[in-house]
């Protein structure tokens, strides 16, 4: 009992990034708990070690990756029939030893044969575990992997994330990061979640930044603040108002520049709108609506209470009307 209590205390006092190393060390245990059998992935790595050179793969080589005595390959995947791919395999050489140099070409060539990025990732993971991991829905979910133009591009994004984590948290191999993140998924979303691991994962600032980049970078690159604000209304009206408020302020200040009042662009928004009305650059109705939008912007950014849904909608209507 004391020994078990000591283990729990150790888990609670480790630095946050160490939760990933804890998950990696418990991979075999987590696998056994989920599938009711042990996986011996190092045995598969050892069996395919001779493929670490520039060679054509033979169909018989593929049996080492299936390895039913070492894991449940057949439960999730199947290699194409021999007569479908053997002629193509004989015509190609794969420089596994040179990886990750020219990995795009190697991954593309493998994909052209197997037509499955999961199978490609399995082959690469076991031949070169220091550089590759198996792409899987649980780990993709943990990373919120950025979707690419195709399966190959998505896998390259996946590898880039694993490699960043490997470097940041000093893992020996990319495959080890992959296994750690698989356990993180089990501990967050499995049948018996671990509250400490879950807390550490959601509190991991580095992974949060990685996930945010994956989820948002394309959106922010493609859409304006006003367009993003409109998209966010159903999800988070307050954030929509804040982003819309930034877009609104830029709109007013750009209008002031067009009115050749550059000397006034440092003035507060209330004064700028009054100036534009007095100089007849905008009419009184527009000025009134803009002042209402300004108050909505202030409430969203500085107010004690967020603006109402109707107020946010009116702010965004003004932005939509003034899209160039």
Which among 158, 177, 311 is positioned nearest to 238, based on CA atoms? 311
**Pair 213, 238 in one domain:** no
Per DSSP, which regions of the chain are E strands?
A: 54-55, 94-95
Q: Which of 88, 99, 98, 97 is nearest to 57 (CA)?
A: 88
Range of the domain at 310: 223-321
Based on the domain organization, do 237 and 208 belong to the same domain?
no
Query: 184-203, pLDDT tens digit by residue?
Result: 999 999 988 999 999 999 99
- Cα 235 from chain centroid (whole Å): 19
pLDDT digits (tens, 9 = 90+) for 111-148: 999 999 999 999 999 999 999 999 999 999 999 999 99
Are 234 and 119 part of one and the same domain? Answer: no
Flag whether pLDDT at 323 surpasses 90. no
How big is the CA angle at 179 (ends 81 and 96), to the nearest 5 degrees?
Answer: 50
The whole-number pLDDT of residue 15 equals 45
Q: How many domains does the chain have?
A: 2
Report the alpha-carbon distance of residue 119 to residue 80 in Å, rounded: 10
Whether residue 228 is found in the same domain as residue 202: no
Q: Identify the band that residue 54 occupies on the pLDDT scale cut at 50, 70 and 90.
A: confident
Same domain, 110 and 12: yes
Q: Are residues 115 and 23 in the same domain?
A: yes
Are residue 55 and residue 150 in the same domain, yes or no? yes
Per-residue pLDDT band at 17 (split at 50, 70, 90): low
Confidence (pTM)? 0.85
Asked if residue 56 has pLDDT above 70, the reply is: yes
Same domain, 206 and 228: no
Mean pLDDT taken over the chain? 90
Q: Is 170 in the same domain as 229?
A: no
CA–CA distance, 165 with 271 (Å, rounded to integer):
49
The pLDDT tens digits for 266-276 are 688 999 999 89
Q: Are residues 238 and 118 both part of a single domain?
A: no
Question: Residue 307: its pLDDT value, please?
Answer: 92
User: CA-to-CA distance for 120 and 110, rounded, in angstroms?
Assistant: 6
**Residue 56 and residue 36: Cα distance in Å, rounded?**
36
Question: 229 with 214, same domain?
Answer: no
Give strand pairing partners of 55.
94
């Amino acid at each position: 009992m004391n020994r078990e209590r000591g283990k729990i205390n150790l888990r609670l006092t480790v630095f946050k990034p160490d939760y990933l190393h804890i998950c990696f060390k418990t991979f075999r245990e987590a696998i056994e708990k989920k599938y009711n059998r042990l996986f011996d992935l190092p045995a598969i790595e050892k069996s395919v070690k001779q493929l670490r050179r520039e060679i054509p793969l033979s169909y018989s080589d593929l049996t080492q990756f299936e390895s039913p005595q070492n894991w449940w390959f057949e439960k999730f995947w199947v290699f194409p029939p021999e007569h479908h791919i053997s002629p193509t395999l004989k015509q190609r050489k794969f420089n596994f030893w040179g990886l990750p140099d020219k990995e795009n070409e190697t991954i593309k060539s493998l994909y052209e044969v197997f037509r499955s990025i999961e199978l490609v990732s399995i082959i690469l993971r076991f031949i070169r575990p220091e550089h590759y991991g198996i792409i899987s829905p649980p780990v993709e979910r943990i990373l919120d992997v950025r979707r690419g133009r195709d399966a190959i591009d998505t896998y390259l994004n996946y590898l880039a994330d694993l490699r960043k984590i490997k470097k940041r948290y000093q893992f020996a191999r990319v495959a080890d990061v992959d296994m750690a993140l698989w356990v993180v998924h089990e501990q967050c979303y499995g049948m018996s979640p671990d509250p400490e691991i879950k807390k550490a994962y959601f509190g991991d600032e580095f992974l949060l930044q990685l996930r945010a980049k994956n989820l948002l970078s394309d959106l922010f690159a493609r859409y304006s603040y006003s367009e993003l604000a409109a998209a966010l209304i159903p999800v988070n009206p307050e954030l929509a108002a804040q982003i819309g408020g930034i877009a609104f302020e830029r709109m007013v200040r750009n209008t002031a520049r067009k009115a050749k009042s550059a000397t006034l662009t440092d003035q507060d928004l209330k004064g700028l709108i009054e100036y534009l009305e007095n100089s007849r650059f905008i009419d009184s109705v527009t000025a009134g609506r803009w002042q209402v939008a300004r108050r909505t912007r202030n409430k969203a950014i500085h107010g004690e209470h967020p603006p109402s849904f109707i107020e946010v909608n009116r702010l965004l209507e003004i932005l939509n009307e003034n899209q160039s």
